[in-house]
Chains A and B, each alone.
Chain A
Amino acid sequence: MGVDSGGTFTDVVTDDGRVLKVPSTPDDPGRAVRDGVRAGRAAGDTGRPSLLAHGTTVATNTLLEGRGARVALVTTAGFADVIEIARQDRPDLYDPWADRPVPPVARGDRLEVIERLDATGEVLVPYAPGLAPLPPEGCEAVAVCLLHSDLNPDHEYAVAEELRAAGWDVSASYEISPEFREYERTVTTVLNASLRPVCAPYLEGLREVADEVVVTTSAGGLVGLAEAAVRPVSLLLSGPAAGVRAAAAVAMVCGFPDAVTFDMGGTSTDVGLVLDGAPASAPGHVVAGYPVRSPSLELHTIGAGGGSVARLDAGGALLVGPESAGARPGPACYGHGGRLPTVTDANLVLGRIPAGVPFPGLGVLDVEAARRALDESGVDAAGVVAVVDAQMEQALRTVSVERGIDPSGLALVAFGGAGPLHACDLAAALGIPAVVVPPAAGALSAVGLLTSPPRRELVRSWPVPTDHAGLDEALAQLADRALAQLGDDVDPAGAVVATFADCRYRGQSHEVTVGSVEEFAAEHWRRNGFRRDGEQVEVVAVRAVATGAAPADVAEVLGRATPFGGPVVGPDVVVRDDCTVWVPAGWTGTPGPLGSLILRPSGPGGAS
């Protein structure tokens, strides 16, 4: 069973293909999970499921709501303020009132130890054992991050062990984020320390819900409860990552190994790239302004969705977002007192969302209220859709064309409540020949929970970037460790491991992750438009990714979801409980594998 916690609903998908929703319980999110598991049981079944795959918002919400534990930070003497100085840049060039995110450790909780490593990890000032500082009263956890510890963890290990012996919950940077760049490593370690006292009890509380409980990480991989509880900072993109996994799997079965994923919800939209069936991965991501260095799927998020508000600016241009009507009052057509026109109102007035059809939880939408809101703000419905589509198109370009990917070889996988409303127009604008709408498009993240592989990724800094002697041995060792750790969660039979190197040319300071040093020049050329043969290639870090078999096959999970019918010839609307599909004039939708709907431009060379 897959259970995905969302803001409003908790989605449940069973391995026999049933999809259902129960209301979320933000005050105690575990209750909705248990409700969902109960609701997901087959009739007459009173036992617990053999496996629960969970997509959780607990880490994200704890961070966004500032409910994390108070953390003491131990740094190298002289560097306690790195956590506040950050990278010295400010978040907005022209708005003097825009603040950086609050430093996640208060000044009085920043502690220093006397020790120092040099730039190769050699000891300059030894750490004298027994001198770990005592965290101030009121701190619940400790983060330890010493300079250059990614090259040599000895000092950090010694400090962490002393504090652990004294009973402290310690996150050490060499364990949580062993990569160079001290600010990013410190932030990641501190956030982990802060999340753990909140997330660990929540996750432990789910242990009895199923015979086995696994959790999806930001990388769209499953890990056991124990690993998730130790490393909650790896869960910040849990739900969205699972959605991309499912989208990739559906696209693959439909014959599209390369795709862009387009998940448009009420307040934001996530787009991602899938190549050869695999979602593009990233070494980190940004949450609430904090750069989190933890393996992730590469998701590009924009702050616009169905609830984004439209208005005219003082110069007479039509703006959409970033203000959102949210769930309450929501779009004007919800009839909850919203007076501002949103993207959803525009879609309704244009007939892209049908009037007179009841939607679960919302009833019949109020077209007149939508029209009134648009008129009062002086914006026209088609214009609102055009502007929001331009924003979406830019995001889709960023993950495809701008990476050197030719859109004519891609499919656009549309999901989320609003994704299938905008997908065909976006595909047309980008020259993408096909749109895939999976069944259960409104609960795809829950589907992805069951179709994600168990996954462990290990990374370590490479000490001398220009000297590659021993690289193969190091990669092999790292691969063995990744496989061994994966074995903590799953049967290692059938597990596979791949290794990577983060490379750059000498003198560069941004890395590209590639399968081998030999692949670097070609990848650099694809991404950046040039290569420098003869230039020294540096290796900054090495990675190993071990994966196992997903709990369920996407065909099994979607096998019993209500399939799309067809063909549908545009202009037409297909209304489902969890999403609405807009088929514009000139487009035709035909039923595809797994009950999906595949839309293509009609006419010669189009629909087939």
Chain B
Amino acid sequence: MLSPADLQVLIARLTGVADLMGAVLQRSAFSPNIKERADCSAAVFDASGQVLAQAAHIPVHLGSMPASVAAVVRAFDTGAGPADSALGPGEHAIVNDPFRGGTHLNDVTVVTPVWVDGVLRGWVANRAHHADLGGAAPGSLPADATDIAQEGLRIPPSRLTLDLRELILANSRTPWERSGDLDAQVGANVVGAERLAPFLAQPTDEVLDHGERLARAAIARLPDGEWSAEDRMDSIGPGGPPARLCCTVRVEGEGVEFDLTGTDPQGLGNVNAVEAVTVSSVAYVVHSVLGRDLPTNAGVLRPVRVVAPPGTIVAASYPAAVGAGNVEVSQRVVDVATLALAQVPGLAVPAASQGTMNNVLVGGSGDGASRSGWVYYETVGGGQGGRPPHPGRADAAPQPGMGGVHTHMTNTRNTPVEALERAYPVRVLRYRLRRGSGGAGWAPGGEGIERDLQVLEDATVSLITERRVSRPWGLAGGEPGAPGENWLLPVGDEARAERLPDKCTIQLHAGDVVRMFTPGGGGWGALPMPKNI
């Protein structure tokens, strides 16, 4: 048994390796997605694929990175079988198949074994959002996809050979950028594996046990009981019907169950999450609501059970399209689980945040001469939910939600307007907070963003957005936030403005403007009654 100090030192070292890998990846990657927006993650694992530490980048990768490593561990014999089927020293596996360890096709995970003196002792892995891997629309997130084949190239857990690399590049609209990002991913794992190796001789199980003890202690503070909530997706795809999500939280002693039974079946749209995404969302809720100082390792999730019935939008099966599951269903799973927890006596829970990532994908085929094909992907921040007084501070006051911020399952940075305009044929005409969009309350919700984006050459635009019909809910008497709105202004003409649906793929001509209003956050607490009345 490690002493308390040795345990903490080991935790710090493992975390240091994950942080280093994330830093190397961000420094050396090519695409703005990874460098400017930090849409990537890195983690270190023991030999059985249990995550020991994960760098804090993007919550949606929290529970799903381990699924990728588990799929690789399953796919590659790790010593018991013929030697040529194992991943040897210096070899790497790659995976993005949502039905075998991935999330959506853009998220490509590179997994590398850590061999020490001829024995496989652990794994390192990192994931990066690749802007394009083929499919029916630039950006590989076609809003109108109805099955996975339309979304792009599916890579089951595979050895990353030069041949496979060529195949991946040949299937992307932006091969030179992909090749730079893949180089960076491999480089990060090489550095990480080398740094991790010496620590794998230590009792890493104790790091997981420690995480488990912290999680059990946090859960034990809750009263036993059962609480349920419902929420909805605006649509399962362009023009599609809405979908319902259900969550029942059951607390018993030191364990908690999140049961999503009752959630609607997967449909002919791309608003489907695979189970790994749902597990990530629940893990995020555990970290943000139950214990904000929990480490990010596999031990923390031991006392947490997730029930996600197969074939639903929270545990989609082949051949569902899943592009929006990662980015949109994940946000709603957080909302519905949080809404259930809001009923637990004594637990401080903020009102709903914007509940969407407002995905915008713009791509063109270039001018055929000086400029080649281009794809620009961005998510847009919105209002955070109003917050009750901080649970750990005696004299705390309710805190209004932040405005124009990324919430819950993403935390990417924006692409600066000046960087965006210098890199792509687009222009931002307006970029402001959306005054008055936060739900009223004692702690009002944060405001959404108003942004007008003009394309300077013909382009295809996909919008995948939510909370355009339903609104981010308020809590404890607070009002809901304003829903978002999407508009098309042909050649920027206000008089011809037409409303766009929450999800669509449209062809734009040079000069057209897409206007987006992102949702405000819900308010927390009833407005105090005016005195002297």
A78-B429, A94-B288, A530-B183 known; A88-B406 Cβ under 8 A: yes
Q: Is A397 located at the chain interface by the 8 A CB criterion?
A: yes
Contacts of B449 in A (CB 8 A): 85
CB contact between B180 and one of A118, A386, A532 (< 8 Å): that residue: A532
Q: Does B418 contact A88, Cβ atoms closer than 8 Å?
A: no
Contacts of A180 in B (CB 8 A): 416, 418-419, 422
Contacts of B20 in A (CB 8 A): 397, 402
Q: Does B214 contact A315, Cβ atoms closer than 8 Å?
A: yes
Complex-state Cα separation, A209 to B272, whole angstroms: 71
Complex-state Cα separation, A79 to B380, whole angstroms: 15
Size bracket of the A interface: 35 or more
CB contact between B31 and one of A90, A150, A507 (< 8 Å): that residue: A507
Complex-state Cα separation, A147 to B428, whole angstroms: 11
As a 0/1 sequence over residues 1 to 41 of chain B, the CB contacts with chain A under 8 angstroms (1 = contact) are 00111111101110010001001101111111001101000
| Chain A nearest Cβ from B342, distance in angstroms | 12
A81-B433, A90-B405 known; A147-B417 Cβ under 8 A: yes
Q: Is A301 located at the chain interface by the 8 A CB criterion?
A: no
Contacts of A315 in B (CB 8 A): 210-214, 217
Pick out which of these stretches binds chain A: B108-116, B136-144, B184-192, B460-468.
Answer: B184-192
Q: Does A85 contact B381, Cβ atoms closer than 8 Å?
A: yes
Q: Does B12 contact A390, Cβ atoms closer than 8 Å?
A: yes
Contacts of A100 in B (CB 8 A): 402, 405
CB contact between A508 and one of B35, B187, B284 (< 8 Å): that residue: B35
Q: Does B6 contact A81, Cβ atoms closer than 8 Å?
A: no
Cβ < 8 Å to B, chain A residues 524-548: 524, 527-530, 532, 535
Q: Does B4 contact A84, Cβ atoms closer than 8 Å?
A: no
Contacts of A82 in B (CB 8 A): 417, 431
Contacts of A510 in B (CB 8 A): 26-27, 35-36
Chain B residue, CB-CB nearest to A385:
B5
Contacts of A148 in B (CB 8 A): 418, 421
Q: Does B421 contact A119, Cβ atoms closer than 8 Å?
A: yes
Q: Is A549 located at the chain interface by the 8 A CB criterion?
A: no
A79-B432, A94-B292, A510-B35 known; A319-B8 Cβ under 8 A: yes
Q: Is B176 located at the chain interface by the 8 A CB criterion?
A: yes
- Number of residue pairs across A and B with beta carbons under 8 Å? 200
Q: Does A402 contact B23, Cβ atoms closer than 8 Å?
A: yes
Question: By the criterion of a CB under 8 Å from any partner CB, how many residues of chain B are at the interface?
Answer: 81
As a 0/1 sequence over residues 452 to 491 of chain B, the CB contacts with chain A under 8 angstroms (1 = contact) are 1000000000000000000000000000000000000000
CB contact between A80 and one of B16, B212, B390, B432 (< 8 Å): that residue: B432
Q: Does A87 contact B414, Cβ atoms closer than 8 Å?
A: yes
Q: Does A84 contact B404, Cβ atoms closer than 8 Å?
A: yes
Q: Does A317 contact B24, Cβ atoms closer than 8 Å?
A: no
Q: Does A85 contact B431, Cβ atoms closer than 8 Å?
A: yes
Q: Does A181 contact B4, Cβ atoms closer than 8 Å?
A: no
A84-B404, A88-B405 known; A386-B23 Cβ under 8 A: no
Cβ < 8 Å to B, chain A residues 398-418: 402
Q: Is B413 located at the chain interface by the 8 A CB criterion?
A: yes
Chain A residue, CB-CB nearest to B402:
A100
Contacts of A184 in B (CB 8 A): 416
Q: Is B250 located at the chain interface by the 8 A CB criterion?
A: no
Q: Is A382 located at the chain interface by the 8 A CB criterion?
A: yes
Complex-state Cα separation, A150 to B23, whole angstroms: 28
Q: Does B5 contact A382, Cβ atoms closer than 8 Å?
A: yes
A87-B414, A88-B381, A119-B418 known; A317-B402 Cβ under 8 A: no
Contacts of A394 in B (CB 8 A): 12-13, 16
Q: Does A316 contact B404, Cβ atoms closer than 8 Å?
A: no
Chain A residue, CB-CB nearest to B288:
A94
Cβ < 8 Å to A, chain B residues 420-453: 421-423, 427, 429-433, 449, 452
Q: Does B12 contact A387, Cβ atoms closer than 8 Å?
A: yes
A88-B413, A93-B59 known; A507-B177 Cβ under 8 A: yes
Q: Is A89 located at the chain interface by the 8 A CB criterion?
A: yes
Q: Does A88 contact B414, Cβ atoms closer than 8 Å?
A: yes
Q: Does A384 contact B5, Cβ atoms closer than 8 Å?
A: yes
Q: Does A313 contact B433, Cβ atoms closer than 8 Å?
A: no
| Chain B nearest Cβ from A134, distance in angstroms | 21
Q: Does B387 contact A89, Cβ atoms closer than 8 Å?
A: no
Cβ < 8 Å to A, chain B residues 340-359: 350
Complex-state Cα separation, A450 to B407, whole angstroms: 48
Residue of A95, A315, A387, A465 most packed against chain B (CB within 10 A): A315
CB contact between A313 and one of B6, B214, B387, B421 (< 8 Å): that residue: B214
Contacts of A343 in B (CB 8 A): none
| Chain B nearest Cβ from A117, distance in angstroms | 10
CB contact between B412 and one of A89, A379, A465, A524 (< 8 Å): that residue: A89
Complex-state Cα separation, A86 to B381, whole angstroms: 11
Contacts of B292 in A (CB 8 A): 92, 94-95
Q: Does B432 contact A528, Cβ atoms closer than 8 Å?
A: no
Chain B residue, CB-CB nearest to A391:
B12
Contacts of A383 in B (CB 8 A): 3-6
Complex-state Cα separation, A259 to B5, whole angstroms: 29
Q: Is B411 located at the chain interface by the 8 A CB criterion?
A: yes
Contacts of B214 in A (CB 8 A): 313-315
| Chain B nearest Cβ from A321, distance in angstroms | 11
Complex-state Cα separation, A584 to B422, whole angstroms: 56
Contacts of B9 in A (CB 8 A): 386-387, 390
Residue of B184, B399, B421, B422 most packed against chain A (CB within 10 A): B422
Contacts of B331 in A (CB 8 A): none
Q: Does B432 contact A81, Cβ atoms closer than 8 Å?
A: yes
Binding site for B on A (CB under 8 A): 78-82, 84-90, 92-97, 99-100, 118-119, 147-148, 150, 180-184, 312-319, 379-380, 382-384, 386-387, 390-391, 394, 397, 402, 465, 505, 507-510, 524, 527-530, 532, 535
Given contacts A78-B431, A509-B423, 10 further A-B contacts (CB under 8 A): A88-B406, A88-B412, A89-B405, A94-B59, A181-B418, A183-B416, A386-B9, A391-B12, A394-B12, A529-B24
Sample (27) of A-B pairs whose CB atoms are under 8 Å apart:
A78-B430, A79-B431, A79-B432, A84-B404, A85-B381, A85-B431, A88-B412, A88-B413, A90-B405, A94-B287, A94-B292, A99-B399, A118-B421, A119-B421, A147-B418, A150-B418, A180-B422, A181-B419, A315-B211, A316-B7, A318-B3, A383-B6, A390-B12, A394-B16, A402-B23, A508-B35, A528-B187
Closest CB pairs A-B (n = 7): A383-B5, A528-B28, A85-B404, A78-B430, A318-B4, A119-B421, A88-B381
